[in-house]
């Protein structure tokens, strides 16, 4: 069976990897010049289904809890299993209680325990929630590694616009936000982020700072860098970050640790997350094409489950006699 995967973001590459593991003949076509140019490029890379459950429905947890294992198996050494720390400023302490009632898989930490995990946060928070089972990865590095692995396995990559004459048995469309307006009920949710660089603060794991209006997360990266995200705006505008969002994100980072005030602002970004009305991803069929879309803010978390679903469907077809005969 010859398969064309359209789109080389986290969804497309994950699907390609899964199909390659099952022995399918896969070609990947990406309209841009390289991988990860859509929403995936702005991802936090948090594998945090327990935290996400605070505002997401149950499938995010049931489908997402195996994501860390999937990434670890695909890319050994890329997954950091250090949990997630959730904190709130003294005035918003009630938000922590609220977060705890909406989630599972946490434990309460006191000041000493916070210090043991993140020494640089000593004395800044009286208590915190710790989600021990959660993990994170660097999205850029993960996508590059996945691409390298696929190239090594002699998967074909086609870049740039234009169609290709080759016939494929099936197309798996993973082009995300490009399908807004073409797939029913798919909408864009704008997200803005920024990257800071400072050697004055060290964090070992993603930290979420709760706030009634602007909850944010900070994910530590290599080379003293930190990704700060992310806004959630009901808009499919992909223009640069707004002054207000920049202010809110920086303000929150500063609130987490004043040393972020002296950090360098490396860059900012804004991307469009494709989402269905329930904010859950799905695999849909349209003739010869399977669509994987609606990953919303859960690309790295839920792409493995979607890839598994695509593989199951194609394997079932492959095995069914009528399909073999046709």
Judged by the rule CB under 8 A, the positions of this chain that interact with other proteins are 55-57, 98, 101-102, 180, 186-188, 190, 212-213, 233-237, 239, 242, 275, 277-280
DSSP string of 226-244, one letter each residue: EEEE---BS----PPPPHH
Report the distance separating Cα 179 and Cα 191, nearest Å.
17
Nearer to other proteins, 251 or 289 (CB): 251
What is the distance between the alpha carbons of residues 308 and 62, in angstroms, rounded to a whole number?
14
In the chain, alpha helices (H):
10-21, 49-52, 58-64, 67-74, 93-102, 111-117, 139-152, 243-256, 299-319, 321-325
- Minimum distance of other proteins from residue 181's CB (angstroms): 8
Report the nearest approach of other proteins to the CB of residue 191 (Å). 11
Shortest CB 254 distance to other proteins, Å? 15
Residue placing its CB nearer to other proteins in the complex, 170 or 190:
190
Q: Which is nearer to other proteins, 55 or 133 (CB)?
A: 55
State the nearest-atom distance from the C-beta of 29 to other proteins, in Å. Answer: 26
> Helix or strand or coil: residue 166?
coil
CB proximity list for 83: less than 8 A, separation 6 or greater: 117, 130, 131, 132, 133, 134, 135, 205
Q: How far is the CB of 193 from other proteins (least distance, A)?
A: 14
Of 55 and 268, the one with the shorter C-beta distance to other proteins is 55
Cα 245 to Cα 35, 38, 143, 228, 273, distances in angstroms: 27, 20, 27, 11, 17
Q: How far is the CB of 302 from other proteins (least distance, A)?
A: 14
C-beta of 6 vs 298, nearer to other proteins: 298
β-strand pairing of 135-136 with 2-6: unpaired
CB atoms within 10 A of CB 32: 15
| Shorter beta-carbon distance to other proteins: residue 239 or 287 | 239
The CB-of-216 to other proteins minimum distance in angstroms stands at: 15
Closest residue by Cα to residue 142 from 218, 20, 46? 46
Residue 191: C-alpha distances to residues 102, 225, 232 (Å):
23, 19, 5
- Cβ nearer to other proteins, comparing 35 with 275: 275
């Amino acid at each position: 069976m010859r398969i064309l995967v359209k789109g080389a973001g986290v969804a497309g590459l994950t699907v390609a990897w899964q199909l390659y593991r099952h022995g399918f003949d896969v070609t990947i076509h990406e309209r841009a010049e390289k991988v990860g140019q859509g929403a995936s490029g702005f991802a936090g890379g948090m594998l945090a289904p327990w935290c996400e459950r605070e505002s997401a429905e149950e499938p995010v947890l049931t489908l997402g809890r195996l994501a860390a294992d999937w990434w670890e198996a695909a890319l050994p050494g890329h997954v950091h299993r250090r949990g997630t720390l959730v904190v709130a400023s003294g005035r918003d302490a009630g938000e922590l209680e609220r977060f705890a009632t909406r989630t599972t898989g946490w434990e309460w930490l006191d000041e000493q325990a916070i210090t043991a995990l993140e020494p640089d946060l000593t004395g800044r928070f009286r208590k915190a929630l710790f989600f021990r089972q959660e993990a994170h990865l660097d999205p850029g590095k993960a996508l590059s590694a996945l691409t390298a692995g696929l190239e090594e396995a002699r998967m074909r990559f086609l870049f740039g616009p234009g169609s290709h004459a080759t016939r494929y048995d099936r197309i798996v469309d993973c082009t995300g936000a490009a399908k807004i307006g073409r797939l029913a009920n798919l909408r864009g949710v704008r997200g803005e982020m920024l990257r800071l660089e400072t050697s004055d603060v060290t964090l070992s794991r993603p930290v979420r700072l709760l706030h009634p209006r602007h909850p944010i997360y900070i994910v530590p990266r290599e080379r003293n860098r930190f990704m700060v995200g992310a806004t959630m705006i009901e808009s499919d505008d992909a223009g640069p970050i707004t002054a207000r969002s920049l202010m809110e994100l920086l303000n929150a980072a500063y609130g987490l640790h004043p040393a972020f005030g002296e950090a360098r602002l490396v860059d900012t970004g804004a991307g469009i997350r494709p989402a269905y009305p329930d904010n859950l991803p799905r695999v849909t069929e349209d003739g010869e094409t399977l669509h994987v879309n609606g990953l919303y803010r859960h690309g790295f978390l839920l792409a493995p489950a979607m890839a598994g679903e695509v593989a199951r469907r194609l394997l079932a077809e492959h095995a069914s006699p009528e399909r073999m005969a046709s």
